[in-house]
Structure 1
Amino acid sequence: MIKYFLAGLATVAGLAQAAPPAQHFFEAARYKEARLSPSGRYLALRVGSNETRDSLAVIDTDTLQVVSTKRLAEYDVGHICWVNDERLVYTVTDKDAAPGDRRVAPGLYAMSRDGKETRQLAEHHGGNQSTGSHIRSRMEPWNTYLMDEDGAQDSNIIYVERPIWTAKAGYDIERTELVKLDTASGQSSVLSHPGISQGWMLDHKGVPTIMVSSKDGNETINYRDAGGEWRDVATQATYGSSSQGLSPIGFYDDKRLLVRTRKNGDKAALYLMDLGTGKIDAEPLVAMADFDFNGRMVYSQQRLVGIHYLADARSSAWFDPALQAAQKEVDRQLAGLVNIITPPTHPDSAWMLVASYSDRQPRFYSLYNSNTREVKGLGGTHPDIKAAEMGAQDIVKYRARDGLEIPAWLTLPAKGGKKLPMVVLVHGGPYVRGSEWGWDADGQFLASRGYAVLEPEFRGSTGYGLKLFNAGRKQWGLKMQDDIADSVKWAVDKGIADPGRVCIMGGSYGGYATLMGLVNDPGVYRCGIAYAAVTDIPLLYDSGMAVLSDLPPDYKTYGVPVLVGDLEKDAAQFTATSPLKQAARIKRPLLLAHGTDDRRVPFPHYTKLRSALQEAKADAEFVEYIGEGHGWSTLKTRLDFWGRVEKFLDKHIGQK
């Protein structure tokens, strides 16, 4: 089985001339999720295809025989989680419906490992089944969500989160409650707590121990001790970033918390905090020279055994000698790949789960036996992708015009080349990390069509230190925009890009940057592709008269003024950096696309700009996707959009 996967890692000598079909890139992943049972004796897989609903399969890790399956007629199986070795829970979704057409919440179902017993725990059609008390024996309401972490996995109990919306019309979440749920009886209770709860974390034993609460633009990290009493650990501003801010990441043991903080340095690192005194160790547990720490803890037998973290690519740091040896052996057998190992939480088997990938190889799953050193292949996300036909990706650095060092991701076509047509792919957010080393459908699709792809991590991006992030405050359309243009100059100077064949492209903030690129730098970009684009900053404060925005009210009140600008004080800057108000200056060809049910960047952002561009007689193509939200959720939409992108690029910057 492994030979099948690694066959695609051959050299590019036999690369076919025809580009791989778009469907190979943008179809739904085949293997979407793999979860090892607490003992390691079983594996739960969420699998599907374009023709079939996503289903759940439980297999025996020794024999790879199917123990049970769960396939739903009207829905897809969503996320899956082991309650204990005998029991799982799963949610439901509808992958074929655009957000505006979906009429289903995630719901929640419990299932025995053998598939003979299924119990619905939460509604997925709306409606509240509350008994009117803190103890519930009926079905949970639709706004019940799985946590993104394992519980104790030694009983029938799990913890679920319940966001509570404000009474007024809209999508504003007032607080998020934590609910203790018995998956066998269906009884539940809401955990009592101080303050306005926004987020929760379980400790290494699966017990709720950390809560983040918020008030007036500040957040407080609360710790619940063994006696059930809550106390404050730290209070800080919710938005922005500081050298003193900290985030709880996990538990080292009963007395020490793992926190992410900078301690007055530029890069965030992982430190130990004494929960009794609140004191943070002088030296970090994990620190990186070029990246902020970003990762999650790996627990086994109720103790910390390792850390999965992100640098340029994913990696692991193991504290357990047996896991260090397992990592070394897996890396030997699956050479040239990033191999992320997950051990069982309550081991009764030698099997571990392995997720492997590279810049050219989409993720695939295997099982590794630490006793026999056997690797058994399972399946991958995009089995039709041939790694030899994909482009190589590297992280590069360049200097912006003011001297600031900017990271960027460069993907070249498999056949390489110089003075290539280039697409500058601008990430959304913008206050997020844009990319990481690994196979990506968007970038690799463009590279497979002969384009160099450059993805700058412009100022304001996170993950690369406080200096880069803070340099992006209130710089929409200004220095953030200059950073993107300066990346093109770097690529031209290096002989990578043909200066006459560069197109800028992005969604959300990336769509905004695309539009402002055509406004500010028409000599740099031959064309632009913007989708789900912010077209006017003040519209971020206003839902736009058509569809309600899902941006939280605290972000509008406290986040936008700090990071983007003040509606009144920065009015002149907002006008100068508004694609809507500067639409007459867009002279280069533009492809503009938007979903009608986008709640993050509501549809009026698109319709207002469309009218302005039509009035200015701009060279623009427009496409609306009915029912789609902030991005493309269905294969039909993805294929239509990327088909348009391919034709648009070929027309304006394609091969000579």
Structure 2
Amino acid sequence: MCSTRVFARCARYTVLAAVVANAALATLARAAESAPATVAQRPPIADFFENPEFSGALLSPTGKYLAVRIGSKDQRDRLAVVTLADTSVKVVATFGDADIGSFQWVNDERLVFTATDRTVGQGDARYGPGLYAINRDASKFIQLASRSGKSLFTGGSMIRNRDMLPANTYLLGQKAAQDSEFVYVVRPEMSGASQVHETGLLRLNTLTGRATPVTGAPDDSKRWLLDDKGEPRIVTTSKKGISTIQYRDPATSTWRELATYNTYTGGKDGFSPRAFGPDGTLYVVTHAGKDTTSLHKYDLATNQVAPQPLVQIDGYDFSGGLVTANGKLLGVRYLADASGTTWFDAGMQAMQEKIDAMLPNTVNLLSVPTRSETPWVLVIAYADQFPSRTLLYNSETGSLTTVGGSHPKIKPEQMARQTLVHYKARDGLTIPAWLTLPKGGGKNLPLVVLVHGGPHVRGNTWGWNADSQFLASRGYAVLEPEYRGSTGFGVSHFRAGWKQWGLKMQDDIADGARWVIAQGTADPKRICIAGASYGGYSTLMGLINDKDLYQCGINWVGVTDINMMYDGHWNFASDLSETWKQYGMPQLVGDQVKDADQFKATSPLLRAAEIKQPLLLAYGGADRRVPLPHGTKFYKAVRQTNPNVEWVEYEEEGHGWALPKNRIDFWGRVEKFLDKHIGQAGAAAAVTGTGNAPGAAQ
């Protein structure tokens, strides 16, 4: 079911057919519904899992220039600037040994950016991201923060050695005022492996490289918030599982407490500072006595949250931010099933309606420059069948020009429809879920139940997703449940998942599969469960708890024993913080002492002998979130009683696949595994009597 704001565009069975020539306007065409693609017609795996060819664009503060990150298969990602008055393009930064990472405008003449290396996995990444600055005409280039302390090469010239900020220096990630040569950066201070003790804030001159620490702030600072003028105004501190929001009064420069709450479970007085408006108003996200959160004004004089919400989305927790320009609050970006914008400015609302009429089949998100002096507006357009595309809208001429797309090889007419559905769990709780059906739909389809990780996060949103679209392109229906414990759907839904690993959370997922079967969509004899991280754990527990339901399972980088999350392993360090283990996990996952029996009953490692179905396991050799012993110990245990287990280790990878070659290899294995057990090959074998029952030796 779609939200009322986007229902009209996501319910139509239409797709975008992007026709881009000389950066001309992308046009739309209605695609005929057709039967699922044959093997010969299937899009290549690489089309889904290569790195995006175009992955970022930002208008300068005045809107005169556009900074873009340009990528290609055989070249390093480069940073280029487009002068919009004459459409001239200049590549301003490129590295011989790195790709351009994140980037921001400092002011209309200057940019800052980081380095990354898309050719190595997480296990081989040895350096911080570095920090660099350059003018839009490629002048005044300077390295501001170290990347392993070595010099880099750019444009054939070696950057001179100089004192610079250490490698653990990062961009704050907030736009700030963009009216000077200064930016704010953060420097986490560690108190042991992966344990952030405090996050310091520094004001950095991007021309000279000189940085000044922000002093006088409370101890144990973790998160900072700048006001609309680019000054630090809020800091959230955290100590022993308690978070405190502190506000710096601009008149006195003194800090005072606004609220205190439990870091992991929240509290009735807790709220999340979201942004400052141009007039200095603080906007916060809070429950305000409701099940879902909403956006409110906060009165700094009385320390009170305004009772009337500014933006409230039925059925969803508020997620989003302010849209401001030229000293005015224009609107609020939000996330329901898809992203959208509530406009307070009549001119922006009219512009949104005009662009929506030109692009009627996509969600269209408008971004405006900080101090606009031009007619240019940036548009991000996407749909379930269409990967995100960036366009420029000229408000004077009414024209749209395509800048670039993330996955241009994807043909929308070959992609599947995605729908938000709801079903009842066995105890009556309503569970949202994303259902993606192969092109042309169908009945009695093989089904992959794809379980999101986290688990206490929102799993998905309406839009193009490589994993589910790839599976659908191979003929599988895909169900992605937002099981209890997932965030974004209200506090009751979130809290219902506390201490329910392998229990009611697992029931929600099985109940979703049975609901799809009851609709006639899924073949009850061709169901596979799959997922990563917590989703991998859920895969294994699903094979144990619901042996009659799942014919096979795919677990990548999955937890195999909750106690191992607490205790770790002598040879592999986890990046789970001691604070989380001490104050978060006992409440949300379970207490090692009080819930010891539950942990045993819900341990895939201890119950490995019960899994008889075919199983694919994949792990990263350098994973620090779910270290490799989770996989190797489980593989050793399950192989004692189940010969139908496939194993792959990507030695250089961490908690997921960073390298395209590994993503392509993994999903190629998934394709063969599914085809064998629930796909066309498996169905043919079942008909001829040559197939194997779950767990049977081959």
Instruction: Give the structure-1-normalised TM-score.
Output: 0.96
Note if contact 1:161-1:179 (Cα within 8 Å) is conserved in structure 2: yes
Distance 1:375 1:14 in 2: 33
Distance 1:277 1:67 in 2: 51
Aligned to 2:239: 215
1:409 aligns with 2:434: yes
Aligned partner of 2:199 among 176, 199, 202: 176
1:592 aligns with 2:613: no
Distance 1:596 1:68 in 2: 37
1:188 aligns with 2:211: yes
Describe the shift of the 1:66–1:418 C-alpha distance in structure 2 as closer, same or farther (beyond 3 A): same
Aligned to 1:133: none
Q: Deviations over 1:351-395 (max 9, x none)?
A: 011110000000010001112111111110000001110000010
Aligned to 1:105: 128
Note if contact 2:37-2:439 (Cα within 8 Å) is conserved in structure 1: no
Letter in 1 for 2:542: G
Query: Displacement, 1:126?
Result: 5.1
1:578 aligns with 2:599: no
Gaps of 5+ in 1: 128-136
Tell which deviates more after alignment, 66-75 or 335-344. 66-75
Note if contact 1:459-1:468 (Cα within 8 Å) is conserved in structure 2: yes
Aligned to 1:10: 31
Letter in 2 for 1:420: L
Q: Deviations over 1:490-530 (max 9, x none)?
A: 10111111110000000000000000000111111000000
1:33 aligns with 2:33: no
Aligned to 1:45: 68
Q: Deviations over 1:551-585 (max 9, x none)?
A: 12211111100000001110000000000001011
Distance 1:255 1:633 in 2: 41
Aligned partner of 2:646 among 615, 618, 621: 621
1:359 aligns with 2:384: yes
Residue correspondence of structure 1 range 188-207 to structure 2 within 5 A: 188-192=211-215, 193-207=217-231
Query: Displacement, 1:549?
Result: 0.9
Letter in 1 for 2:409: D
Q: Over aligned residues, Cα RMSD in angstroms?
A: 1.5
Aligned to 1:458: 483
Query: Displacement, 1:148?
Result: 2.0
Query: Displacement, 1:15?
Result: 7.8
Q: Deviations over 1:19-70 (max 9, x none)?
A: 1000000000011111110000101111212221111110012332203432
1:483 aligns with 2:483: no
Note if contact 1:214-1:220 (Cα within 8 Å) is conserved in structure 2: yes
Aligned to 2:492: 467
Note if contact 1:195-1:213 (Cα within 8 Å) is conserved in structure 2: yes
Distance 2:514 2:89 in 1: 55
SS at match of 1:490: helix
Aligned to 1:654: 679
Residue correspondence of structure 1 range 363-378 to structure 2 within 5 A: 363-378=388-403
Distance 2:531 2:90 in 1: 44
Describe the shift of the 1:196–1:614 C-alpha distance in structure 2 as closer, same or farther (beyond 3 A): same
Distance 1:265 1:567 in 2: 33
Distance 1:533 1:189 in 2: 43
Describe the shift of the 1:67–1:600 C-alpha distance in structure 2 as closer, same or farther (beyond 3 A): same
Aligned partner of 2:530 among 493, 496, 505: 505
1:342 aligns with 2:363: no
Aligned to 1:331: 356
SS at match of 1:444: helix
Note if contact 2:227-2:277 (Cα within 8 Å) is conserved in structure 1: no
Identity of aligned residues (%): 50
Letter in 1 for 2:229: K
Note if contact 1:109-1:122 (Cα within 8 Å) is conserved in structure 2: yes
Residue correspondence of structure 1 range 530-545 to structure 2 within 5 A: 530-545=555-570
Distance 2:278 2:115 in 1: 35
Distance 1:21 1:113 in 2: 38
Gaps of 5+ in 2: 1-16, 21-25, 151-161, 684-698
Q: Deviations over 1:71-112 (max 9, x none)?
A: 211100000100000000110000110011112211000011
SS at match of 1:53: strand
SS at match of 2:119: coil
Query: Displacement, 1:298?
Result: 1.5
Note if contact 2:612-2:641 (Cα within 8 Å) is conserved in structure 1: no
Number of equivalenced pairs? 645
Tell which deviates more after alignment, 154-163 or 313-322. 313-322
SS at match of 1:615: coil
Residue correspondence of structure 1 range 105-184 to structure 2 within 5 A: 105-125=128-148, 138-166=163-191, 168=192, 170-184=193-207
Note if contact 1:12-1:389 (Cα within 8 Å) is conserved in structure 2: no
Note if contact 1:255-1:275 (Cα within 8 Å) is conserved in structure 2: no
Distance 2:634 2:73 in 1: 35
Distance 2:381 2:391 in 1: 8
Note if contact 2:34-2:439 (Cα within 8 Å) is conserved in structure 1: no
Distance 2:641 2:142 in 1: 59
Distance 1:16 1:448 in 2: 7
Aligned to 1:250: 275
Distance 2:280 2:132 in 1: 35
SS at match of 1:179: strand
Distance 1:639 1:446 in 2: 13
Describe the shift of the 1:429–1:92 C-alpha distance in structure 2 as closer, same or farther (beyond 3 A): same
Q: Deviations over 1:89-147 (max 9, x none)?
A: 110000110011112211000011101331000001159xxxxxxxxx93111001112
Residue correspondence of structure 1 range 379-398 to structure 2 within 5 A: 379-398=404-423
Tell which deviates more after alignment, 547-556 or 37-46. 547-556
Aligned to 2:339: 314
Note if contact 1:462-1:468 (Cα within 8 Å) is conserved in structure 2: yes
Note if contact 1:243-1:265 (Cα within 8 Å) is conserved in structure 2: no
Query: Displacement, 1:456?
Result: 0.3
Distance 1:89 1:617 in 2: 54
Note if contact 1:249-1:260 (Cα within 8 Å) is conserved in structure 2: yes
Letter in 2 for 1:218: I
Aligned to 1:134: none
Note if contact 2:100-2:115 (Cα within 8 Å) is conserved in structure 1: yes
Q: Deviations over 1:467-507 (max 9, x none)?
A: 11000000000000000000011101111111100000000
Aligned to 2:6: none
Distance 1:617 1:359 in 2: 38
Note if contact 1:138-1:187 (Cα within 8 Å) is conserved in structure 2: no
Aligned to 2:689: none
Aligned to 1:645: 670
Note if contact 2:106-2:179 (Cα within 8 Å) is conserved in structure 1: yes
Distance 1:595 1:302 in 2: 48
Aligned to 2:471: 446
Note if contact 1:544-1:605 (Cα within 8 Å) is conserved in structure 2: no
Aligned to 2:519: 494
Note if contact 1:443-1:453 (Cα within 8 Å) is conserved in structure 2: yes
Distance 2:310 2:666 in 1: 45
Instruction: Give the structure-2-normalised TM-score.
Output: 0.90
Aligned to 1:58: 81
Letter in 2 for 1:512: Y
Distance 1:333 1:617 in 2: 56
